[in-house]
Structure 1
């Protein structure tokens, strides 16, 4: 049965120790362990180590290194269990060791999907324009259970959704381009839906949104869109047919009939 001949500290990793074993009157490198393993197993010079104990020490050290990897990964931000498992799998950690590391993280309260979900919801509220449906999608993609995601989203109240959606809406309407007010509202509603806001929030925002687009801006938009449409159809139609095509196209873009008729009167020859 081999004995420990000496124990030395690694030069670049002061918390790692090389274990040398007696060998035919001399010594040879056996394995290395972390300081915690060294202390927990009371390793010392002259200690007898059988093959089974050495195998156990190496395995414990491997698990410890995997745990250290997980701790380092968690040091940047909170993680879900799925993220931890994927990270360790990418590092080629054995599945049974991953289970052990995850259990240990839970025991030390370093891993908690509910707390992770709540933290992500708060972050999304503070740093993004996403509504609750999109935030829930983010959570599920990170491996959080749907029930856990729903519970965490109770923090994303109607008032907070309204505040965020209104802020986005006001910004978007200021940069609506040369479109009809009606089309801008339709585009806004569609965008808010895509961002994951609930319909009742969207309708409340639209109902309380103040229009900065007066008659002059709406008329300029009619002229801008109308001239583009005229350019498209003028080579294919004329007279009544041309007016009919232009009128239909402008109506589909959300302009009212009074503005359209004015444009046809001023810009399209009879």
Structure 2
């Protein structure tokens, strides 16, 4: 691997490019320690040494800091580390480290996410949001099964109807059609929507 460029990202931190691609970041003193200069050839052994001695340790600390800020899925944490300048294999090592202590757990994340939103979101909306965060469908389905009872969808529908100030006893046919369409677009099942709208005691 050839060091094609060393570019400053701050006064003390530098991005190292290998074979024309951004590879990792080091501080000024570390450039000297590992004799990194543009145009030099970096042996695989030297690259692995930098990863083990510097980058993995730093990535573990960074991962812990990110998790202290807020809960994240495994994919979110890995992506954040890679965007921060860590090689993918280094990000993977840091992820394995925090997972070993239970600091990141997609099933727990999904459970918490669903419990905090099931009263106002449809199962379809929650599933889509979790998929965007990198949670596997298998984990999502397990969490949904654990956290959503049969009444969760209907309670979420009732909450949305309250916010829209929809009253099935006084609503016009046109208002009911629009409300039905709105809830269907949100991902609720037709049968659940119809059952709630037809029960006049929903807001009791």
Q: TM-score, normalization: structure 1?
A: 0.52
Structure number with larger C-alpha Rg: 1
Q: Provide Cα deviations, 1:136-160, integer angstroms capped at 9, x if missing partner.
A: 0001111111121111112122212
Q: CA deviation at 1:192?
A: 1.2
SS in 2 for 1:75: helix
Q: CA RMSD in A?
A: 3.0
Gaps of 5+ in 2: 1-28, 35-44
Shift of the alpha carbon at 1:134? Answer: 0.3
Could you say which residue in structure 2 is the equivalent of 1:109? 102
Counterpart position of 2:180: 189
CA, structure 1 residues 77+122, in 2 after alignment: closer, same or farther (shift >3 Å)?
farther
Partner of 2:158: 166
1:1-270 aligned within 5 A = 30=33, 56=49, 59-125=52-118, 129-154=120-145, 155-174=147-166, 181-209=172-200
Q: Structure 1: which 5+ runs fail to align?
A: 1-19, 21-28, 32-51, 212-270
Q: What displacement does 1:57 show?
A: 7.2
2:131 and 2:100 map into 1 onto residues whose CA distance is: 23
**Contact 1:81 1:113 (C-alpha < 8 Å) held by counterparts:** yes
Equivalent position SS for 2:104: coil
TM-score by length of 2: 0.68
Change over 3 Å in CA distance of 1:68–1:180 after alignment to 2: same
> Residue in 2 aligned with 1:262?
none
What is the CA-CA distance between 1:73 and the residue it aligns to? 1.0
